[in-house]
Amino acid sequence: MMIVGLTGGLGSGKTTVAKVFEILRIPVFYADDEAKNITNTSAAVKAQLISAFGRELYKAGELDRALLASLIFNDTEAIKTVNGIIHPAVADAFAVWATQQKSPYVLQEAAILFETGGYKRFDKMILVSAPVELRLTRVIKRSGWTREEARQRMANQWDESQKIALADFVILNDGSKPLLPQILAIHEDLIHTSNQGG
């Protein structure tokens, strides 16, 4: 079975793309959802986060996400620390989950697979791409953030050109091309590659 990464910048529409793959009966592992789960259920992850950022990070056993976000906002070292705690735990959970699936390939949907170097663990990488202005508009509309807040969060992600250079497939989600034919073409390619033994 092939393991395939599905990534894209904030507001690119990668979750929408992931849902289409699910309709095609491809199992999708949502890394951000798993990360939220792990921060509340893994004793090891909790202990490491408390050690790095203080006991007040947890209230009644639940991670105070707003507090963590405020502590690491615009602090690249703190962001690296959090990623270094959470991403290996998510990768372990994905590895276990993948062995339980019965399909030619599986997808892991995650925001910063290129930025963290996590993309090296995958057989293929799919990038969902859209222009910055369009992504900003989408993010502001769905999150209620200001334009500046959205920009600052995007600043922690690589430029599109860096990601395109490393991707095996690029899905353009700017409204100029329908999404479905792009997804179906990749799906067929991955099925074919899987049948050929990777």
21-32 confidence digits (pLDDT tens): 999 999 999 999
Q: Which of 137, 122, 131, 101 has the alpha carbon at shortest distance from 168?
A: 122
Q: Are 135 and 195 part of one and the same domain?
A: yes
4 and 106 Cβ atoms separated by less than 8 Å: yes
Q: Are 64 and 76 part of one and the same domain?
A: yes
* Listed residues 50, 71, 100: the one ending a domain: 100
pTM listed for this prediction: 0.90
Residue 110 DSSP code: -
Helix ranges (DSSP H) in the chain? 14-23, 31-41, 43-53, 65-72, 76-99, 132-143, 147-154, 160-166, 179-195
What value does the mean pLDDT of the chain take?
93
Least confident span in 70-84, 88-102, 120-134: 70-84
Q: Are 127 and 168 part of one and the same domain?
A: yes
Its domain, for residue 135, covers 1-27+103-198
Q: Which of 38, 128, 120 has the alpha carbon at shortest distance from 85?
A: 38
CATH number reported for the structural domain that contains residue 193 in this entry: 3.40.50.300
Q: Are 161 and 78 part of one and the same domain?
A: no
- The pLDDT assigned to 154 comes to 84
Q: Are 111 and 172 part of one and the same domain?
A: yes
Share of the chain above pLDDT 90, in %: 77
Q: In what order do the strands lie in the sheet with 124-129?
A: 28-30, 105-109, 2-8, 124-129, 169-172
Q: Are 94 and 116 part of one and the same domain?
A: no
What tens digit of pLDDT does each residue of 103-123 get? Answer: 999 999 998 899 888 899 999
Q: How many domains does the chain have?
A: 2
* Listed residues 41, 73, 100: the one ending a domain: 100
